[in-house]
Chains A and B, each alone.
Chain A
Amino acid sequence: MKPLTTEEIRAVIAKGKFYDNLFKAVGVFCLAFALLVIVALIADMVIKGSERFTLDFFFNFASRRATEAGILSAWVGSLLVMLVTAMAAVPLGVAAGLYLEEYAKRNLLTNIIEVNITNLAAVPSIVYGLLALGIFVYQFGFGQSILSAGLTLALLILPIIIVSTREAIRAIPAMIREGSMAVGATRWQTCRFHIIPYAMPGILTGVIIGLARAIGETAPIITIGALTFIAFLPPVPFSAADAGTTAGLFDWLLSPFTVMPIQIFNWTSRPDPAFEVNAAAAGFVLMVMVLSMNAVAIYLRYQMRKKIKW
């Protein structure tokens, strides 16, 4: 091979640098495009939906007339469903994570549970809807209610909470456990007074991310048969119901309901363009809910990384 002259070597280097910079530009472009999509999405909904950002929109029920329709039943429904989801998923998820990290021995059962959790995360959300339709709605007889929806979403976000709990617990050094046990604490006392409190920020991050995912989920809730047109609120505990009776403390659990994403779906699929405005406004409200939850989670994680030094 003939040796290269200085000019030729310079040309090779220049070519290499050129391709490096070209790739950098493509990378920046791709990132900018992703950012552009978020901005376009939000801008479109704000501009289109701006005329609906009134108090009436938040405190009106769904209506056949686009201008009078509001999201009262939808956001109340979303809130109540999230309440059920959190009540079910947080204790279950934290307990499962705690068991797998602090108690479990390496055996077949533990292995099955671990593989299972990984696999469940890849199951499409609509399949959880089918599970809930078969089990919660018909087998358990919960019907198409807030309780069914809340439990469905709880199962859906359980893997997220379990995984984040485990990661938070794993980050606690062994000396904390040893110290606690050395002064005579039992395993549970170690967990109760040391492991859980120290893992709390990590667990909380996982819970918020899980709930943000759940509040935007549409498919499983449609599958269990949530109604799209609801012009009433679930019964308030002890309020006067019809025929002189009062509603029980838990009557709202079995009430029919609608949630924000279903309301948006309903408005988006109507041919009348007047409802597009409603869909845009409701979409923006949902985005604000989800993104602020995510932002809180990201902030929490950031704080955690900065503060904790064992």
Chain B
Amino acid sequence: MLLVNTHIMSPNNASDLHQVSDRLAYNAMRNWKERLIEAVLLAAATVSVLTTLGIVYVLVSESISFFASVSIVDFLTDTQWTPLFDDAHFGIMVLISGTLTSSFVALAVAIPMGTIIAIYLSEFADSRVREIAKPILELLGGIPTIVFGYFALLVVTPILQFFIPSLPGFSLLSAGLVMGIMIVPYIASLSEDAMRAVPMSMREGSYAMGATKLYTAIHVVVPAAISGLAASYILGISRAVGETMILAVAAGMQPNLTFNPMEPAATITSFIVQVALGDLPHGSIGYQTIFAAGLTLLMITLVFNILGLWLRAKFRENY
């Protein structure tokens, strides 16, 4: 094809034949270069897969050494967590209780507030309010968690102590509340996207039947967007369970098997921080503990994410 083209373009003589072979050689090079570039780009894309494999490899291999010295039954049923003491106990329940309690407090704030803001922005607010509100929410979501930790310990805790004098200086309550505020933007923005994707005709149908805006929002728009809302809640749960610095700063770091938010307690994440701050030798049982804790954390987020996928599949509505 190419030969023919060249032939048409130039008269048939020796020097031009030479040029043709040159051009073919150039084209072959071009092909080779294209393939090389594609391979390089593919390699870059596989880095994300390698990251996942790396995470699984590191967590599982260190956990296997950990479970060689601690039985899985003890790990799951022991009610004490004292991995760095002479009388070592490894009951992960203790850390899970802290994680679940603080996450529960956070979600009790974030889910109602985030959903209300999302409904307000998508169904009630005019576009001018939305243009201002969305960047503000984005800024709130961009504040570093260590700054929120500082805020929880040195601002929110004293305010709470004014109302509840018995509240200790470190508590799951104060950390959880601030964590909730941190998660509001994620839930609000994802839920709003989901509700805005509901076709206008459904709202119009509802209005035409005489329904009010609020009735339409709650009985038409929210049910239609429920799979998106569920996804945003799941993301909120993942953020709450994996949040580290707010809890490390404001919830204290002593292991405490409790579901009472008024008490200080360690979570899976704050325990990892506590160990990392010390100077544990590579390969010791204390060092392996944080990987076992990390694996537990990853499993919990994985369970919630699978649950989220299932919810989305079950409640997905197509228009």
Contacts and interface: CB of A to CB of B under 8 A. Distances in A.
Interface string A154-178: 0100110010000000000000000
A129 B58 CA distance: 11
A124 B241 contact: yes
Contacts of A17: 212
B145 A27 contact: no
B316 interface: no
B139 A291 contact: yes
A92 B41 CA distance: 8
Interface residues of A, number: 86
Given A20-B213, A27-B117, A99-B42, A125 B242 contact: yes
Interface residues of B, number: 81
A247 interface: no
A96 interface: yes
Contact of A216 (B46, B146, B214): B146
Interface in A125-165: 125-131, 133-135, 138, 155, 158-159, 162
A30 interface: yes
A130 B55 CA distance: 8
B49 A116 contact: yes
B116 A26 contact: yes
B29 to A, nearest CB: 11
A269 interface: yes
Interface of B: 30, 33-34, 37-38, 40-42, 44-49, 51-52, 54-55, 57-59, 61-62, 113, 116-117, 119-121, 124-125, 133, 135-140, 142-151, 153-155, 181, 184-185, 212-215, 217, 235, 238, 241-245, 248-249, 269, 272-273, 276-277, 282, 290-291, 294, 297-298, 301, 305
Given A40-B151, A217-B144, A294-B142, 13 more contacts: A24-B124, A38-B136, A96-B41, A100-B45, A120-B52, A122-B305, A130-B55, A130-B272, A216-B146, A219-B244, A268-B150, A268-B153, A283-B150
21 contacts: A24-B124, A31-B133, A34-B113, A34-B181, A37-B181, A44-B151, A92-B47, A98-B41, A119-B52, A130-B272, A130-B291, A131-B51, A138-B282, A159-B48, A188-B34, A216-B143, A264-B150, A283-B146, A283-B150, A286-B144, A286-B146
